[in-house]
Structure 1
Amino acid sequence: MLIFVNHDDLRGQEVMEELVKNGYYVTDEWKDLRYCQMIYLGLKGIDRKNRLLLHRDTIIVDEKTWKQLHPQTIIITMIHNDYLDALSKQYGFQYYAFLDEEDFVDKNSVLTAEGIISYLISHRRFPIYHSQIHVLGYGHCGQVIVRDFIALQAYVHVGIRNRQLFEDIEKTGAKPYHLDHMDLSDCDVLINTIPSQVVTSSKLDQAPTSMMILDIASYPYGVDHHYALSKGFNSIILPSIPSKYAYGYAGRMMTDFMKEKMKNV
């Protein structure tokens, strides 16, 4: 079996090494695509203009590529891609996204939380211990982040819209609040996991300029970063943290997922 890997970040390189260790034939040459039974197209795969970020360069994927695929080829991306999903029905290949799988998302959240901790330890003058940490959102990543920062004895506040989660959050030792009542006046570190803007200029005006902002959400992000930077905040967008921290383990996770799907080929 031949597997194509688009190593558009460090995780892809780890996947190639892990697959070779497990006895699979691996290529990163686009010309080999027609011979592959499995294809990893990278973080997002192609867009609706058929553009693909391939090993740091952008190429155009033409219709001929899909028609030449091996029957029932498996194509995988990290993030779900509706366009690839539609193409799979048109051309007969199987399509999966790592972050559609619950178990993968849970493990990815652990790596994300560890990456945030690593970043804060190496970029702040003060410890996490007894810092006032605000976490916006309480999904997969938010839950793990809250748990880990509570364990490090930070004072954790969680901003959400669903009041039904307040009791669960309080059980962790964190303090929940509704996003409409966000008060950042005592915040040392703001961690956003919500992919829509919830931290507006008026909210930032309440906060001390010493507050560090880490936004791990996807575009359009959760913070008005232009305004934050203009006011002197240390405002950082940190996408795809597992591709930078613990990418070796992330690569193994991806390889395990791919091996499981190959059982059906």
Structure 2
Amino acid sequence: MIHDKTLQIAVIGGDLRQAHLANLLARDGFYVSALCLEQDVYLGDDVKQGEDVQNVLSRSDVIVLPLPVTVDKKNINTPFSKQKLAVRDVLTYAKKDVLLLGGMPDPELRTKCEQMGLTMIDYLEREELAVLNAIPTAEGAIAIAMGERASTIYGSTCILTGYGRISKVLSRLLLNMGARVIIAARKPSDLAWIRINGCEGIHISKIKDYADQADILFNTVPAMILDEEILSCLSRDCLVIDLASKPGGVDFDMAKNLRIKTIWALSLPGKVAPISAGAMIKETITNILTERGIIY
């Protein structure tokens, strides 16, 4: 792949995934500037640092925002920086033909970009990244389960809700570790594939009938699946791990009242495998730039 070495990319804020992403892009020969990534992160010599924010943004052809872009809808998410950078300043300073790439931009930001004639792409919506992100999410979920329980995964009964990307990867790992895996899904086609892949498939409406068998319950559905009716059927030794994005799928207050240990494990790729996750984002961004004819 041939890269245009005059292409200027600004990588702004975020966690260790962003730092690794900046290093990888610079290693590929792009001119990379890093902003709001100056604390407790490693950036290679090829990554330009400490430059004026307005100057960097006004000359950048591509601006890579973090995942999530913002947590307060006002400022860019910058956990490894003392600086605060307002979202509105990024949009104001950016060139009109800039390509903005970010993870989970909120609807207000998307609307603002449209009003200003700026192109914003959510790289987390890309299928290749969603699939690849399932790997560190599944591995991280298993790591949590092993750290929180006094029993092995081997011989444990694990119930998974949903049969999306994460559940597909997680169920395979659990099977390979010797667990009994029960997956609750809605579609007949999913239930068929679940059985073919060596797991037990149940309709999601039947979770209550199997709940008392669970040693670990992994939720991947971002809707209220585990309510009082289900939670009250669980063994008090059962560990519940919610992998769903907000608003999650567990009645956390009820779980607390029932003294069922529940962990809402958000953003696992960035926490457990930032180097791998950064490489996955880099691959996705490269695909976007290639598809748009920016690199070839």
- The two structures have a TM-score, normalised by structure 1, of 0.90
- 2:212 match: secondary structure: coil
> In 2, distance between residues paired with 1:51 and 1:101?
25
Q: Hey, what does 1:93 align to over in structure 2?
A: 118
Matched, 1:217 2:244: yes
> In 2, distance between residues paired with 1:14 and 1:230?
41
- After TM superposition, the structure 1 = structure 2 runs for residues 60-71 of structure 1, keeping only pairs within 5 Å, are 60-62=86-88, 65-71=90-96
Worse-superposed segment, 76-85 or 108-117? 76-85
- 2:94 match: secondary structure: coil
- 2:58 match: secondary structure: helix
Q: CA deviation at 1:241?
A: 0.8
- 2:121 match: secondary structure: strand
- 1:5 match: secondary structure: strand
- After TM superposition, the structure 1 = structure 2 runs for residues 224-235 of structure 1, keeping only pairs within 5 Å, are 224-235=251-262
Q: CA deviation at 1:196?
A: 0.8
**Are the equivalent residues in 1 in contact too, given 2:70–2:105 (CA < 8 A)?**
no
Distance 1:153 1:230, change over 3 A: same
Q: Hey, what does 1:242 align to over in structure 2?
A: 269
> In 2, distance between residues paired with 1:168 and 1:258?
32
Q: CA deviation at 1:120?
A: 2.0
Q: CA deviation at 1:55?
A: 1.0
Paired letter, 1:9: D
| Structure 2 unmatched runs, 5+ | 1-6, 37-52
Worse-superposed segment, 77-86 or 194-203? 77-86
Q: Hey, what does 2:40 align to over in structure 1?
A: none
**Are the equivalent residues in 1 in contact too, given 2:68–2:104 (CA < 8 A)?**
yes
Q: CA deviation at 1:144?
A: 1.2
Query: Please, which of 43, 54, 59 is the counterpart of residue 77 of structure 2?
Result: 54
- 1:18 match: secondary structure: helix
Matched, 1:8 2:14: yes
> In 2, distance between residues paired with 1:18 and 1:238?
27
Worse-superposed segment, 72-81 or 189-198? 72-81
**Are the equivalent residues in 2 in contact too, given 1:46–1:84 (CA < 8 A)?**
no
> In 2, distance between residues paired with 1:253 and 1:165?
27
> In 2, distance between residues paired with 1:102 and 1:208?
37
Distance 1:106 1:54, change over 3 A: closer
Q: CA deviation at 1:127?
A: 0.9
Paired letter, 2:65: L
Q: Deviations over 1:138-159 (max 9, x none)?
A: 1111111112212222111111
Distance 1:238 1:101, change over 3 A: same
Q: CA deviation at 1:234?
A: 1.4
- The two structures have a TM-score, normalised by structure 2, of 0.81
> In 1, distance between residues paired with 2:264 and 2:126?
25
Q: Deviations over 1:168-213 (max 9, x none)?
A: 1111111112222213111100101111111001211111111111
Paired letter, 1:6: I
Percent of residue pairs bearing the same amino acid type: 23
Paired letter, 1:234: K
Worse-superposed segment, 234-243 or 107-116? 107-116
Q: Deviations over 1:212-239 (max 9, x none)?
A: 1111111110011111122222110111
Distance 1:61 1:7, change over 3 A: closer
Matched, 1:116 2:141: yes
Paired letter, 1:21: R
Q: Hey, what does 1:37 align to over in structure 2?
A: 61
Matched, 1:160 2:162: no
| Structure 1 unmatched runs, 5+ | none
- 1:244 match: secondary structure: helix
Q: Hey, what does 1:75 align to over in structure 2?
A: 100
**Are the equivalent residues in 2 in contact too, given 1:19–1:26 (CA < 8 A)?**
no
Matched, 1:201 2:228: yes
**Are the equivalent residues in 2 in contact too, given 1:34–1:65 (CA < 8 A)?**
no
Distance 1:50 1:124, change over 3 A: closer
Q: CA deviation at 1:240?
A: 1.1
Worse-superposed segment, 180-189 or 22-31? 22-31
Q: Give the aligned length.
A: 263
Give the root-mean-square deviation of aligned CA atoms: 2.2
Paired letter, 2:246: Y
